[in-house]
Amino acid sequence: MATVAESPESETHPPSHDYSKTNNLQTFNQTTPFIDYVIAQAQLYHQAFDDGVNSTIDAAKSRFAQIRSTSYAHFNQTLDSLDDLKSQYNAYEDLLFGKIKEGVLVAASRPLITCGAAAALGLTVLKRPRRVLYYSTLRLFANEESMISRAHAEVKELRQSIQLLKAEGEKLEKSALHAEEQFLHGRTKLRQAGKQIRNVIQSAYKIERRAGGLKDILGELPKREASLFRSQVYQLASEAKKEKSSLSKEISKISNYGISV
């Protein structure tokens, strides 16, 4: 009677609630080959059982034919073969149910991995969940594409705004340079005007001194002739004094702007 060697049972440990998602994924990857191995063993045992049944049926047919033509001893041999077949079937059945029981114990000890494997199997094998997953993935990609296009549009608008700001900044810089040039030009003109005013004030001082000299000369002339010139000299001296006062105020204004004259 043929015997089948059983694979060693894998040691199972109860999962800890503190495991991270990475440890769960690694445990799932370790458990998936074991489940595949159990399914492959079950298929192998089922195939072996079918082969044994077919071979036994063929042997039984031939032996029944021999029984008809020979003797009762062949019938007893056929009964022994059937007993062997029954014991072999029981061994296969015990081994199969043992593997299934072992898989159930592993699944019960790791419910999270079992649920994940069942969900993944359902999504990949069943038609309706696979369709739902497909359309959900399409919607996800469509949403990502819309978000990417929106981000590109916003980046384009920001670039345009930055270019406008740069253009405005260049214009303001040119205006500031022009204003600075005008300011420097104005300072130069004010300094020159202040120097000219200073010269005019010096001329006014000279006129006042000359008017004082004329007063001395007029004192030596006869009164009739001196009175005629005296009024004109006083008028000229008064006008020179007024002009000097007003020009001094203009010099003070220029000095207040921080321009040395």
The residues spanned by each domain of the chain are: 22-125, 147-256
Contacts 24+ apart (CB under 8 A), 96-105: 96/41, 96/42, 96/45, 96/46, 98/6, 99/38, 99/41, 99/42, 100/38, 100/42, 102/9, 102/38, 103/34, 103/35, 103/38, 105/12
> Which residues, other chains included, contact 218 with Cβ-Cβ below 8 Å and sequence gap of 6+?
226, 229, 230, 233
Cα–Cα distance for residue pair 222/80, rounded to 1 Å: 184
Cα–Cα distance for residue pair 126/122, rounded to 1 Å: 5
The total of other beta-carbon atoms located within 10 Å of residue 184's CB is 10
Output the pLDDT for position 5: 38
Output the pLDDT for position 246: 84
Cα–Cα distance for residue pair 221/68, rounded to 1 Å: 191
Model confidence at 17: pLDDT above 60: no
Give Cα separations from 69 to 55, 63, 72, 73, 196 (angstroms): 21, 10, 10, 12, 156
Residues 203-224 as b/e (b if ≥16 CB within 10 A, e otherwise) read ebeebbeebeebeeebeeeeee
User: What radius of gyration, in Å, describes the C-alpha atoms of the chain?
Assistant: 60
pLDDT higher for 148 or 100? 148
pLDDT tens digits, 43-99:
676 677 677 667 777 776 776 666 566 655 556 666 677 777 777 766 766 666 666
Output the pLDDT for position 19: 46
pLDDT higher for 91 or 202? 202
Model confidence at 9: pLDDT above 50: no
Fill in the DSSP letter of residue 9. P
Contact assessment for residue 114 and residue 107, using Cβ atoms and an 8 Å cutoff: yes
Pure H helices in the chain: 21-69, 72-109, 111-125, 127-220, 223-256
